[in-house]
Structure 1
Amino acid sequence: MSTDGWKNFGRYGADLDPGNVHGKIALGRALEDVIERMILEGGIKSPPSTRRGLMARMRYLMDHRGGREALTEALADAGSTANAATIRAWAKGVRRPRPVNLEAIDTAYWTLRARNILANPSILKDHLNRGGRGTRIEIHPINQDVVEEPRRRDNLHVRSFQVRYVWDEAVDALNTGDANALEDIWDDIISELDSDWGAYTYVSHIGLGA
């Protein structure tokens, strides 16, 4: 694909694959993937059906702001009639919740954990900055199978390198939905590719090693 093809994305068919998107879009998706991994991988591993898993969830819900409200809401959604005294008994470990209530406790826990991480951008920033070491990015070029054959480039491949100093701004742009800022950040990132940068303005996937 010629340089002109990158500037006029889709002229030669690249837009026929919906997976081929501008880097700013793929970067936003990659950041969301990191958030999801942080929520899931950093959460309580023991299932709620075990005493350890149940007590850990109850401590989190009882000790964090909004936890009691999240639990009350989850119980109500589940049609539970558990009252405050019952919840206190669960928290002390002197009464075991019924299966429907265990599921509600688990739902409340994950809901609150996700809410707390999303409400504190500094957590994600620290995770990506890694004390100045930054995060490794893996850039997958567009799928060229849909591009007119004479315009395909045979020298595109997955690129991987360490990225520093952009993550605070990237997280802020994601949180505010600032697509223009994400585009500027993406331009800064691919500038590391020197003369090849234009070929990665549009990509099929971005992975972050965080």
Structure 2
Amino acid sequence: MSTDGWKNFGQYGADRDRGNVHGKVALGRALEDALERMIIEGGIKSPPSTRRGLMARMRYLMEHRGGREALAEALADAGSSANPATLRAWRHGLRMPRPVNLEAIDTAYWTLRARNVLANPQILKDHLNNGGRGTKVEIHPINQQVVDEPRRRDNLRIRPLQVRYVWDEAVDALTTGDITKMEEIWDDIIADLDSDWGAYTYVSHIGLGA
């Protein structure tokens, strides 16, 4: 298939695999995955069932805006509640909550952490910019097995790229849902490939090393 064939994606069966998508879609998914990893990997590591884990979660909830409300909501959803004295005992590790309350504390913590990270896109931008070093992008070509045999490109391979300078705009496009901008960014990224860059307009997966 020539590069021009990708302008009519699906003409030769590539759309038979729903995992084959435009790079702008795959890039958005990869950014969402990176954001989720950042939320989890940057969070509290100690399990909530340990004194250390409990105290860390309670400290976060009590010291961050919206934390008390998030905890009260999680407790209410669990059919429970806690008075100020109980909250202090939990915070200082003097009393271990019942399992249902412990789960509510953990839920409230992760909900609030995700909310705080999402409210500050600069955190993700800095993470991806990596001090100017950028982020490794691994581009997986579409699944060729669903393409009509005479039109397959079995020589396509995974292409790694170290990508810089696009991440601020990419995160802004993600947060605003600007799919047109995401397409422009994807075109900029694959322009760094060789003359066969058009074969990566559509992909099966994009991995971010962040």
- Band the TM-score falls in, shorter-chain normalisation: over 0.9
The match for 2:205 is 205
Displaced runs of 4+ in structure 1, greater than 3 A?
none
Determine if the alignment matches structure 1 residue 143 to structure 2 residue 143.
yes
- Do the aligned residues in 1 keep the contact of 2:134 with 2:163 (CA within 8 Å)? yes
Determine if the alignment matches structure 1 residue 186 to structure 2 residue 186.
yes
Alignment of 1:69-108 (within 5 A): 69-108=69-108
Q: Please give the TM-score of this superposition, normalised by the length of structure 2.
A: 0.98
Instruction: Please report the RMSD computed on the Cα atoms of aligned residues, expressed in angstroms.
Output: 0.9
SS at match of 1:108: helix
How far the C-alpha of 1:76 sits from its partner, in A, is: 0.4
SS at match of 2:189: helix
How far the C-alpha of 1:95 sits from its partner, in A, is: 2.1
SS at match of 1:82: coil
SS at match of 1:192: coil
- Do the aligned residues in 1 keep the contact of 2:125 with 2:168 (CA within 8 Å)? yes
Output the CA distance in 1 between the equivalents of 2:72 and 2:204: 42
The match for 1:21 is 21
Output the CA distance in 2 between the equivalents of 1:189 and 1:131: 19
**1:3-40 CA deviation, whole Å, 9 max, x = no partner?**
23201000000001000000000000000000110111
Mind listing any 5+ residue stretches in structure 1 that lack a counterpart?
none
Output the CA distance in 1 between the equivalents of 2:164 and 2:2: 30
**Paired AA for residue 75 in structure 1:** L
How far the C-alpha of 1:203 sits from its partner, in A, is: 0.1
How far the C-alpha of 1:83 sits from its partner, in A, is: 2.0
Mind listing any 5+ residue stretches in structure 2 that lack a counterpart?
none
Output the CA distance in 1 between the equivalents of 2:3 and 2:197: 11
Output the CA distance in 2 between the equivalents of 1:50 and 1:88: 16
The match for 1:55 is 55
- Do the aligned residues in 1 keep the contact of 2:20 with 2:202 (CA within 8 Å)? yes
How far the C-alpha of 1:204 sits from its partner, in A, is: 0.1
- Do the aligned residues in 1 keep the contact of 2:144 with 2:154 (CA within 8 Å)? no
**Paired AA for residue 65 in structure 1:** R
Output the CA distance in 1 between the equivalents of 2:2 and 2:15: 15
Output the CA distance in 2 between the equivalents of 1:81 and 1:17: 49
Q: Please give the TM-score of this superposition, normalised by the length of structure 1.
A: 0.98
SS at match of 1:11: coil
SS at match of 1:25: helix
What percent of counterpart residues are identical?
83
Output the CA distance in 2 between the equivalents of 1:3 and 1:92: 63
Moved more, 190-199 or 159-168: 190-199
SS at match of 1:79: coil
How far the C-alpha of 1:146 sits from its partner, in A, is: 0.5
Aligned pair count? 210
How far the C-alpha of 1:96 sits from its partner, in A, is: 1.9
SS at match of 1:195: coil
How far the C-alpha of 1:163 sits from its partner, in A, is: 0.2
**Paired AA for residue 152 in structure 1:** R
Moved more, 112-121 or 82-91: 82-91
Alignment of 1:149-168 (within 5 A): 149-168=149-168
